[in-house]
């Protein structure tokens, strides 16, 4: 089978064909590694590729299948792992010179679970330094580029994960989301990203080192989830990594009361109540994004039979409160020691954030703001089955910036373009992004679908229904010139 055909298959298709012995794990791994060799000099999705480990694991699984031994549900399926997620024996640099040679001595829970399912790790995917950005550049590695236009950002902080999936180097990849970082790059790269309800996917350990412990573990707002090409693949990964609690995460939930792999298959949404907020009532939104997402929302009413109402939850802009939570969840003492040693080689806005004179009031105000957002949101969601918004306020922008200074004529703070993502980290609600359409320049725009408390199946159902109405899996970035 041609490599190009293998690389365009979904994770679900690959798992089925490998199990049926229609494809071998080594054939699949060779195909994606060849594509990686072709695309990586331009895309830079992987900061630490692991081809030798991947080939060895593919051979092990292939031999197990040949012997008739039991293998896991993801046997032979390639997966990228975000470089903020610990991998035993594989460097986890987190985009920082402070961690340039850090090799964890244990796997993150999600990595343990993927390995147990016999998925094959093909490398670590690139991130901004410690994930404190929605863009995809860091001081250590080449900048990740958007496969749809290599002069634009792929988003962040799961920059490489989304770029790898969008370009066919991996059918899916692990991403993490402290303020939108599963959804941001997925939207910018035209794929699916799902942040399940807080606690569905256990978190441990995050980046850790005896010098600077706890750097990236934003315990009360962070989630780990899939970047994938299809809703089915996102659910497939969640069925493995979101399979139940882990004692190492005190917030982790009991096993789901539903089956991730089937809960989305009822795509009949007729009569459901849907809220659409185009701007939260206060956010600046690029006019082209507003138009594209508005057209996508019409599909839910005209074709899927939903009752759509334009409405806002009514909370005030929680931007300052969100960053206060990030500060409270960061090891500022350890990170300040880091800036004293490495500051001249660190990302400037991160150094400024770490060394900001955070007051007790800043941090307690952040907690109060989260409570206010959550109370507005749960009351609002009592009236609706799910909520639609743009995923991001802008299309993909130029490399090496933190975001546009001006949106629709309004000047705002550097990360104002993330207005729609981080509130759901504050509430812990499930939220996914799916491709809504493309700008006139051919750049992807995402539609965000959010559910009520623990309503993960509803989010997946709505995403699958929209996918069926407006399929996107056959849309690929213009990469032919790089695939030689």
Active site residues: 82, 157, 181
CA distance 97 to 94: 9
User: Residue 132: phi, psi to the nearest 5?
Assistant: -90, 45
Q: Give the whole-angstrom CA distance, residue 292 versus residue 295.
A: 5
**Are residues 124 and 83 in contact, defined by beta-carbon separation less than 8 angstroms?**
yes
- Any idea of the CA torsion for 421, 426, 430, 436, to the nearest 10 degrees? -10
Question: Quick one: DSSP state of residue 253?
Answer: P
Question: Helix (H, G, I), strand (E, B), or coil: what is residue 477?
Answer: coil
- Give the number of other CB atoms < 10 A from CB of residue 55: 17
Residues 122, 51 contacting (CB under 8 angstroms): yes
Q: 45 with 144: CB under 8 angstroms?
A: yes
3-class secondary-structure state, position 170: coil
Judged by DSSP in three states, 82 sits in: strand
Q: Which two tokens stand for residue 268?
A: 């009949």
Pairwise CA distance, residues 25 & 54, whole Å: 10
Coil, strand or helix: which one is 431? Answer: strand
Residue with tokens 């206010």: 372
Q: Residue 112: name the closest of 213, 243, 14 by CA.
A: 243
Q: How far apart are CA 85 and CA 103, in angstroms?
A: 11
Nearest to 272 by CA among 383, 197, 194: 383
Which three-class secondary structure state does DSSP give residue 437? strand
- Report the distance separating Cα 5 and Cα 229, nearest Å: 15
HSE-up of residue 229 (Cα within 13 Å, Cβ side): 25
Alpha-carbon gap, residue 380 to 283, rounded angstroms: 18
By C-alpha distance, which of 275, 331, 243, 314 is closest to 448?
Answer: 275
CA-closest candidate to residue 453, choices 367, 392, 384, 391: 384
Tell me how long the chain is: 484
SS3 content of the chain, % helix, strand, coil (to 5): 40, 15, 45
Backbone angles phi, psi at 411, to 5 degrees: -85, 135
């Amino acid at each position: 089978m041609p490599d190009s055909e293998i690389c365009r298959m979904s994770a679900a298709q690959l798992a089925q064909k490998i199990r049926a012995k229609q494809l071998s794990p080594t054939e699949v791994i060779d195909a994606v590694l060849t594509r990686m060799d072709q695309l990586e000099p331009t895309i830079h999705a992987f900061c630490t590729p692991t081809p030798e480990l991947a080939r060895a694991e593919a051979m092990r699984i292939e031999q197990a299948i040949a012997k008739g031994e039991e293998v896991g549900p993801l046997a032979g399926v390639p997966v990228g792992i975000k470089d903020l997620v610990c991998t035993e024996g594989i460097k986890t640099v987190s985009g920082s010179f402070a961690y340039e040679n850090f090799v964890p001595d244990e796997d993150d829970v999600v990595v343990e679970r993927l390995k147990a399912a016999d998925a094959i790790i093909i490398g670590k995917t690139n991130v901004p330094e410690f994930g404190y950005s929605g863009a995809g550049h860091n001081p250590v590695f080449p900048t990740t580029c958007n496969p749809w236009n290599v002069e634009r950002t792929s988003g962040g902080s799961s920059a490489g994960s989304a770029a790898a999936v969008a370009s066919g180097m991996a059918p899916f990849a692990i991403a993490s989301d402290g303020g939108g970082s599963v959804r941001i790059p997925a939207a910018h790269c035209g794929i699916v990203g799902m942040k399940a309800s807080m606690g569905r996917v256990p978190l441990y350990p995050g980046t850790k080192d005896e010098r600077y412990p706890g750097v990236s573990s934003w315990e009360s707002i962070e989630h780990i989830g899939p970047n994938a090409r299809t809703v089915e693949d996102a659910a497939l990964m969640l069925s493995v990594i979101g399979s139940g609690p882990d004692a190492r995460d005190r917030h982790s939930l009991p096993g789901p009361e539903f089956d991730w792999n089937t809960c989305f298959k009822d795509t009949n949404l007729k009569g459901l109540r849907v809220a659409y907020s185009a701007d939260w009532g206060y956010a600046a939104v690029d006019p082209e994004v507003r138009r594209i997402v508005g057209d996508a929302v019409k599909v839910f009413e005209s074709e899927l039979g939903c009752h759509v109402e334009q409405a806002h939850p009514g909370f005030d802009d929680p931007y300052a409160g969100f960053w206060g939570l990030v500060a409270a969840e960061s090891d500022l003492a350890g990170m300040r020691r880091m800036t004293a040693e490495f500051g001249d080689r660190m990302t400037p806005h991160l150094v400024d954030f770490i060394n900001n004179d955070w007051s007790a009031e800043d941090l307690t105000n952040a907690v109060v703001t989260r409570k206010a957002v959550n109370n507005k949101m749960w009351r609002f969601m009592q009236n609706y089955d799910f909520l639609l918004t743009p995923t991001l306020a802008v299309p993909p922008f130029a490399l090496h910036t933190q975001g546009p200074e001006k949106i629709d004529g309004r000047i705002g703070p550097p990360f104002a373009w993330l207005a729609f993502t981080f509130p759901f980290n504050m509430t812990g609600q499930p939220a996914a992004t799916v491709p809504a359409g493309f700008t006139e320049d051919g750049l992807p725009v995402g539609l965000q679908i959010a559910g009520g408390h623990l309503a993960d199946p509803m989010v997946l159902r709505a995403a699958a229904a929209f996918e069926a109405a407006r399929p996107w899996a056959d849309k690929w970035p213009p990469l032919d010139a790089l695939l030689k």
